[in-house]
Structures are given as structure tokens and as C-alpha cells.
């Protein structure tokens, strides 16, 4: 195997900052398309994310082999350390590369630049970036720590729609038929799918309204309450529509939207990003009915249907398989690296405790609601932390 501790002959590592982002974008996008990278590794996604959530200094690491772009890894320098340009709005974070060794070269460069280590979030545990990170940590005698791991369920294309439907319990199938029948008694049900090439602004307005209704508004997590988050999804929708990746699915009752899904479809996987429904019709389960319809369309189109990171009762029931999304960090074996590791691990321990405590979750939600109202009422908003 190539020793990724040093660039190979003909390799050149460069750092691209915000000022020179656009000069790299076309070449980066071409590399992503040629290598079959996920949409979230493309410059349009990263540009929208950085505009909404970025903080610190953008540092996009690139490598070139004999002058040709061979890998890209978008990072940010925050408080002296380096971390991935990703947060909960990133289904999966990854680099783009011709070969895994190209990513190892970039990771080695990152570790040499940051004496406080490297933090990477939203990684597929079976993906190329995790493997490259482990190799780079070993070769540079650094310590790799898995800070968190979360299930990400999906519906696999090994199932036909009929097989998937039969995998549901009999009581669930009866419940779905009953809800659909009762909803139909309220009016005419229709299902609209748009790719955003027409009336995107109007469809997004419907999406934001339904996504932000009910419990999300009560907890302060609705997209429309957070200016930076709304801006991110507006920019992503426009970018995805221009590249044939956007899929907005809307269930209507007598023309009135009652459920909506915002998904990204790259021809292999259909990623559910956000969904919502009208709480007035909650007893009929319009969100569930729409999701089942989208799962059927995905399977019939030969796509896996990604249910999103995190597990709940519905996801556990619907998912036929799951992958693990990891939050990892690599620290040099030095006094500074040890201090950085202990600080990050302490923060993660607090986060896990808060996530498992009902009382702390309620306190967190109360603080979030106050901050959300403050940011929504302020003309000058600052990016939310990762």
C-alpha cells in the first residue's frame, strides 16, 4: 500500500479558502460526478451549508496528481482545530477522490496542520472516508476516537414493494388502509411530485409551512423559525432543482396540502431530508401515508429509500436495513492533542447525558425556543453552532 504519510511523486496538496472557492467549484463538481460521489460531497451542497452554518475559516484541502484534481475534503478551522464542514443537516459527510489513498494524503496534511486534532461528523461507518481516516491515524501515530454512533435506517432495493408491504405487521397494514379510507372521506386525495423546475418558490412555501407546524414549532426546531436553516434549504432546493436532484412530494386534500416530503434523489438513493404534515389531519396519518407512497415509488424506481439518521418506532418498523453514522476524532499523541481529546470527550459526554435525560431535554428545548425567538426577531442573525 502507498505510504500516505507523504505525497506520492506527482502529488500536490493545496488549501482552498472562501476567496478561491468558485475557482475550484467546476473542477470539483466534475470529479464528484466522475467518481459517483453522493450529492452532499458536491460543491453546491457545501457552498450552501457554509453560507448558512459555517464558522471559523473555510479550508478545503485538495490534492492534484500531475496537475489534475484527485481529491477534495472540505474542512473548517475552528478554535485552532480542524473539523468537517458538516452538522445534522448533512445526511452523510464524505470527501471526493479518485483513490482512497488520495483522501489519506489530505487527512495526513490536515493532521500536520492542526495540532489540536481533527473532528469529523456524519460519516458512514462503512464509507471510504472512515477507512481513510483510520489509515491516516495509524500511519501518523495518532489516536482515533469514535465519539458517537447513530443508526441510519433505510429500505433496501432487494425488496419489491409487495415484499416490503408484507413485511409490515398485519395490524399496521390494516391501520394504513383505515387511515387512507377515512382521509378519503374528507375529500379528494391527490399526490403531486415536483422537481422544482416550475413554481419552486410556491412549493417551498407550502413545505416550510407544513414542516414547521405542530411539535417542531413547539420545540423551536422548525425550519422557518431559524433564518440560517431556512436559507440553507432554499439554496439547496434551488441547487438540486437545477441539477435534477430535487424531489418535493406533496399530498393534497381537495387541493390543500396536508403532507410534504423534501428529498434528494441521485439516481441510486432517495434521501429523506425533511417532512411535515398538517396537524389538523393528524388522526388520519397523512405523513405516514405519504411516506409509504414515497417508499413505493423509490422501490419501483430502483432506489433505496433513506429514512434519515436516528431511530424511532416508525423508522424501526419501516427500515429493512441500516447503516451506522459515526462522529469520530483524531488526536496527535502530544500534550496539546491529549488536552483537545479530553475536552471533546467531555463535551460529548454532556451531550449524551442530555440526550438520555427527559429533564435535561426539556431544559434544552426551552433554551432552544428562547434562542430561536431571539434570532427570528433579530435582523442580524449569526450562524448556528454545529
What pLDDT sits at residue 2? Answer: 40
- Lowest mean pLDDT of 141-145, 195-199, 288-292, 342-346, name the range: 342-346
State mean pLDDT over 135-147. Answer: 94
Q: What percent of the chain has pLDDT over 90?
A: 76
Using DSSP bridges, classify how beta strands 11-16 and 246-253 pair: parallel, antiparallel or unpaired: unpaired
pLDDT at 5: 45
- Is 16 strand, coil or helix? strand
- pLDDT at 215 (0 to 100): 74
Task: Evaluate if residue 349 carries a pLDDT over 90.
Answer: no
Q: How far apart are CA 3 and CA 302, in angstroms?
A: 39
Query: For the whole model, what pTM was predicted?
Result: 0.87
pLDDT digits (tens, 9 = 90+) for 160-202: 999 999 999 999 999 999 999 999 999 999 999 999 999 999 9
pLDDT value for 385:
31
Write out pLDDT tens, residues 40-96: 999 999 999 999 999 999 999 999 998 999 999 999 999 889 999 999 999 999 999
Return the DSSP state at 195.
-
Taking a C-beta distance cutoff of 8 angstroms, is the pair 96, 32 a contact?
A: yes
Note the Cα 215 to chain centre separation in Å.
Answer: 21
pLDDT of residue 362: 58
Contact 245, 196 (CB under 8 A): no
Contact residues for 300 (Cβ-Cβ < 8 A; gap 6+): 161
| pLDDT at residue 358 greater than cutoff 70 | no
Please write the tens of the pLDDT for every residue from 249-277.
Answer: 999 999 999 999 999 999 999 999 999 99
Q: Is 382 exposed, middle or buried (0-12, 13-18, 19+ CB in 10 A)?
A: exposed
DSSP state of 27: H
Buried b (16+ CB within 10 A) or exposed e, 33-54: eeeebbbbbbbbbbbbbbebbb
- How much is the mean pLDDT over the chain? 89
Nearest Cα residue to 125 out of 98, 148, 108: 148
Residue among 153, 257, 158, 174 nearest 209 (CA)? 257
- Please check the confidence at residue 153 and state whether its pLDDT lies above 70: yes
pLDDT above 70 covers what percent of the chain?
Answer: 89
- Split at pLDDT 50, 70, 90, the class of 365 is low
Mean pLDDT of 311-324: 94
Amino acid at each position: 500500500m502507498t505510504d500516505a504519510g507523504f505525497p506520492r511523486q506527482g502529488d500536490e496538496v493545496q488549501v482552498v479558502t472562501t476567496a478561491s472557492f468558485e475557482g475550484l467549484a467546476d473542477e470539483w463538481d466534475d470529479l464528484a460526478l466522475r467518481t459517483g460521489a453522493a450529492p452532499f460531497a458536491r460543491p453546491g451542497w457545501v457552498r450552501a451549508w457554509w453560507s448558512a452554518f459555517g464558522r471559523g475559516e473555510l479550508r478545503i484541502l485538495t490534492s492534484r496528481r500531475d496537475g489534475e484534481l484527485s481529491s477534495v475534503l472540505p474542512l473548517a478551522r475552528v478554535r485552532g482545530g480542524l473539523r468537517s464542514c458538516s452538522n445534522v443537516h448533512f445526511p452523510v459527510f464524505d470527501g471526493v477522490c479518485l483513490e482512497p489513498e488520495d483522501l489519506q494524503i489530505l487527512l495526513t496534511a490536515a493532521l500536520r496542520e492542526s495540532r489540536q486534532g481533527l473532528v469529523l461528523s456524519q460519516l458512514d461507518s462503512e464509507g471510504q472516508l472512515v477507512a481513510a481516516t483510520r489509515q491516516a491515524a495509524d500511519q501518523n501515530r495518532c489516536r482515533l476516537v469514535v465519539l458517537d454512533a447513530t443508526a441510519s435506517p433505510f429500505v433496501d432495493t432487494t425488496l419489491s414493494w409487495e415484499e416490503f408491504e408484507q413485511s409490515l405487521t398485519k395490524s399496521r397494514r390494516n391501520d394504513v388502509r383505515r387511515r387512507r379510507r377515512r382521509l378519503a372521506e374528507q375529500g379528494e386525495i391527490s399526490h403531486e411530485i415536483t422537481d422544482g423546475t416550475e413554481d419552486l418558490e410556491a412549493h417551498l412555501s407550502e413545505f416550510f409551512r407544513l414542516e414547521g407546524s405542530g411539535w417542531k414549532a413547539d420545540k423551536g426546531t422548525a425550519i422557518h423559525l431559524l433564518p440560517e436553516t431556512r436559507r440553507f434549504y432554499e439554496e439547496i432546493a434551488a441547487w438540486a432543482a437545477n441539477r435534477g436532484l430535487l424531489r418535493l412530494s406533496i399530498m393534497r386534500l381537495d387541493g390543500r396540502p396536508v403532507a410534504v416530503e423534501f428529498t434528494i434523489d441521485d439516481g441510486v438513493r432517495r434521501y429523506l431530508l425533511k417532512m411535515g404534515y398538517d396537524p389538523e389531519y393528524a388522526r388520519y396519518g397523512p405523513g405516514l401515508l405519504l411516506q409509504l407512497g414515497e417508499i413505493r415509488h423509490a422501490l419501483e424506481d430502483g432506489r433505496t429509500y433513506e429514512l434519515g439518521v436516528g431511530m424511532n418506532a416508525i423508522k424501526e418498523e419501516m427500515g429493512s436495513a441500516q447503516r451506522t453514522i459515526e462522529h469520530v476524532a483524531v488526536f496527535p499523541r502530544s500534550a496539546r492533542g491529549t488536552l483537545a481529546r479530553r475536552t471533546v470527550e467531555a463535551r460529548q459526554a454532556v451531550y449524551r447525558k442530555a440526550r438520555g435525560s427527559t429533564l435535561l431535554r426539556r431544559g434544552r428545548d426551552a433554551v432552544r425556543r428562547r434562542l430561536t425567538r431571539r434570532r427570528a426577531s433579530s435582523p442580524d442573525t449569526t450562524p448556528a453552532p454545529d
